[in-house]
Chains A and B, each alone.
Chain A
Amino acid sequence: MADRKERIRAAETTSRRGSRPILAAIIMFAGAFMLILVMIASIALGASDIEWKTVWAAIFDFNPELTSHQIIREVRLPRAVTGALVGAFLAVSGAILQGITRNPLAAPSIMGITDGAAFALAIIFSFFPGMAYSGLMFWSFMGAGLGTVLVFGIGSLSKSGLTPVKLALAGIAVGALLRSLSSGISIYNDVAQNMSFWYAGGLAGAKWISVQLLVPIGAVGMAIALLIAGSITVLNLGEEVARGLGQRTFWTKCAGVLAVMMLTGAAVSVAGAVGFLGLVVPHITRFLVGVNYRWIIPCAAIIGALLLVLADIGARMVNPPFETPVGALTAAIGVPFFLYLARSKGGESK
């Protein structure tokens, strides 16, 4: 009893002390401005560098007879937009997951979601070759949902509940299982190479149709995320506190998982396995703006978008004219961060 009171008091002080709305507003405006700059840079840089003036002209004064305008309109612009959307979605998914599980290591990439999508793709590539792009995306989206449900289910059904370790291990086990099934299927049907390129993660294949898929699904997912942001803030203070304040925690969690499935599913089906972005960005955001998820979620979206567009520029610059998989770049940032978190927070029994 004393323990509970103490926890509630501790929670109250952290939430009062820990929210910085002014900084959050600055991040959102400055971040949005920087995002636009970075996206223009992303459009201008590439196999053939295009002048900034041309970029401007291609967007606002389109001339279909110029090749550079065509490149910008059909290749570079959708790629930049897709990068921003995917980055935002992954970051928000990570923020929701970390909020509702109170688990610092929760993130889409360690939760079997990408493997679920890959599993669906392996089946499609093998048995329904030549399916339209939108169909591919729909099924990889369903696969991502399957992965999420499996990992979450196993993690929550286990005896001690959804601890950081349990979640990570359930993610590994489900991931390994789905991965082994998809490699079996794809090796048998000789589509393994298609799969590996997808696994590496990348925005090179982004087209306008990917944006068309990302926007509606993402809008619904983001709307859910913002609607439950307040509840997540309370939930993050502890299950008991939330119940004590009259919140139906079960429904908050369900809505959260649904939003994660939509956002991650859409992101993964377009960009493949982009790891660790969903882990790192929410931590950075929380460090900057505090514990209120009404601020965390929009800020995480902006920061995530910014980081992925930057990482994508990096992926093109590291070893030109070849593209380094952007997933490898995000992992290069994310793995040390994960190790740091595992060292500082994962070892405690929670």
Chain B
Amino acid sequence: MTNNFMKNHPFLFMGTLFLFLVLAILVCLNTGAATITPGQVFQTFIGNGGEKNALILFEFRLPRIVIAILVGAGLAVSGAILQSITKNDIAEPGIVGINAGAGLAVVLFIFFFQGSIAELGGISTYFLPAAALAGALSAAILIYIFAWKQGIAPVRLILVGIGVNSGFNAILIIIQLKMDPQDFSQAITWLSGSIWGSDWSYVLAILPWIFVLIPLAFLKASSLDIIHMGDEVAAGLGIHVEKERAIMLLVAVALAGACVSVAGNIAFLGLVAPHLVRRIIGPKHQYLLPASALMGALLLLIADTVGKNLLAPSEIPVGIVVSALGAPYFIYLLLKTN
């Protein structure tokens, strides 16, 4: 009943999600090592909050919130696209090794250029997404090559992705053990998916990618609908299936790469967010993609707030919170589907 209602009113659903997102942002602004009441937050925003609160809000909490929203949206849209073009409900950038490829590229980048980059200053932050993108792309190309056998069978794609994933992880382990202990613990925290220590430079680094790629995905929503219907239907409707699929794959990979470069390897989010949304408002990409973006942003923000406060003063990397919540959902899907 409610499901049908939501299917007919997708904008209502998106509105609700948006409302929740705003709520989550407000909660997130208030909580943390130092509690700042909503009143104080408001005062700070109009400029009367005092220097300390302004510092905490503008330099620590706000960039972190913005990153969580951007990354959550990016990963969710990436997952939604992957699920559609592979016609496979369990496709997700984390599972098929795209995140691991991006992560490996970033760790390699840090490992080889860290010393020289300290002198370059903040510029390196902007190179990270490019490096991650290269890694994500090579992972995607590898998966595509190995899974290609007169077309891409969904199951084969997933299995090959799992293999590629463990290959990259093995290489990661070798490199990590070669790092000195401090770099090492930094790398391991970053790899488990974390958005602490983010500042505005990370926001600036990821912003252009998100703002170009997500609207591009929205524009292509109708061709995704048609691809999702099946290759023959799509060809009959005059769509270059393989070409469109390749473009959308590129978009999904680039989104995942950009997100991984600032937030580390966050698995399962790209799986869960589009899934939940599809169950509620149905498979039309015109609504599915924006709603997934909102859902992803909301989930990641909540997960980050939980990770930040649950075991305070220690922080749990957000990627761990997401997989602790996402893995059971994934298991439930496994039990239910064929």
A: residues with CB less than 8 A from B are: 105, 110, 154, 157-160, 164-166, 168-170, 172-174, 176-177, 179-181, 183-184, 187-188, 192-193, 196-197, 199-200, 275-276, 322, 324-325, 327-328, 331-332, 335, 338-339, 342-343, 346-347, 349
Residues of A within 8 A of B323 (CB): 176-177, 179-180
Additional A-B contact list (5), CB under 8 Å, known A169-B162, A184-B311, A187-B192 = A180-B327, A193-B181, A199-B173, A324-B174, A339-B160
- Smallest CB-CB separation from A199: which chain B residue? B173
Least Cβ–Cβ distance between B193 and chain A, in angstroms: 10
> When A168-B162, A177-B328, A343-B147 are in contact, do A193 and B314 touch as well, CB less than 8 Å?
no
Bound state CA distance, A256 and B164, in angstroms?
A: 29
In the assembled complex, how far is the CB of residue B196 from the closest CB belonging to chain A, in whole angstroms? 12
Q: A200-B173, A347-B155 are in contact. Are A342 and B160 (CB under 8 A)?
A: yes
B166 within 8 A of A: yes
Report yes or no: B324 in contact with A180, Cβ–Cβ below 8 A: yes
Known interface pairs A328-B173, A332-B170; A159-B192 also in contact (CB < 8 Å): no
Minimal Cβ-Cβ distance residue in A for B189: A187
Q: Is B222 positioned at the interface, with any CB of A under 8 Å from its CB?
A: no
Complex: A331 Cα to B337 Cα, angstroms: 31
**What 1/0 flags go to B148-185 for Cβ under 8 Å of A?**
01000101101110111011011101101110010011
Which single member of B149, B171, B185, B334 contacts A328 (CB below 8 Å)? B171
Contact (Cβ within 8 A) B335 A157: yes
Q: B188 in the interface, Cβ–Cβ < 8 Å?
A: yes
A177 — which chain B residues lie within 8 A by C-beta? Answer: 323-324, 327-328, 331
Please give the residue numbers on chain B whose beta carbons come within 8 Å of chain A beta carbons, in ascending order. Answer: 90, 95, 146-147, 149, 153, 155-156, 158-160, 162-164, 166-167, 169-171, 173-174, 176-178, 181, 184-185, 188-189, 192, 267-268, 311, 314, 316-317, 319-321, 323-324, 326-328, 330-331, 334-338
23 contacts between A and B (CB under 8 A): A110-B162, A158-B335, A159-B338, A160-B338, A165-B159, A169-B90, A173-B334, A177-B328, A177-B331, A180-B327, A183-B320, A197-B177, A324-B174, A325-B177, A328-B170, A328-B173, A331-B167, A342-B146, A342-B163, A346-B155, A347-B149, A347-B153, A347-B159
Chain B binding surface SS class: helix
Interface contact A172-B167, CB-CB below 8 Å: no
- Residues in B whose Cβ lies below 8 Å from that of A331: 166-167, 169-170
Q: A343 touching B158 by the CB < 8 A rule? A: no
Return B233 CB to nearest CB of chain A, in Å. 22
Nearest Cβ in chain B — how far from A323, in angstroms? 9
A184 touching B316, Cβ below 8 Å: yes
Question: How many pairs of residues, A versus B, come closer than 8 Å at their CB atoms?
Answer: 141
Q: Which residue on A lies nearest to B322, using beta carbons?
A: A180
Contacts of A325 in B (CB 8 A): 173-174, 177
Give the residues in chain A near B156, CB-CB below 8 Å: 342-343, 346-347
A180 touches B159 (CB 8 A): no
Instruction: Flag if B331 contacts A170 (CB, 8 Å).
Output: yes
Shortest distance from the beta carbon of B275 to any chain A beta carbon, whole Å = 14
Q: Are A173 and B184 in contact (CB under 8 A)?
A: no
Closest A residue by C-beta to B337: A159
Beta-carbon contact of B166 and A349 below 8 Å: no
Residues of A near B316 (CB, < 8 A) are 184, 187-188
Q: What 10 A-B pairs come out closest when comparing CB atoms? A: A331-B170, A347-B156, A342-B159, A177-B327, A335-B167, A180-B323, A346-B159, A338-B163, A180-B320, A180-B324
- Contact, CB under 8 Å: A183 / B317: yes
List residues of chain B with CB within 8 A of the CB of A200.
173, 177
Residue of A nearest to B95 (CB): A172
- List of B residues within 8 angstroms of A347 by Cβ: 149, 153, 155-156, 159
A154 neighbours in B (Cβ, 8 Å): 331, 334-335
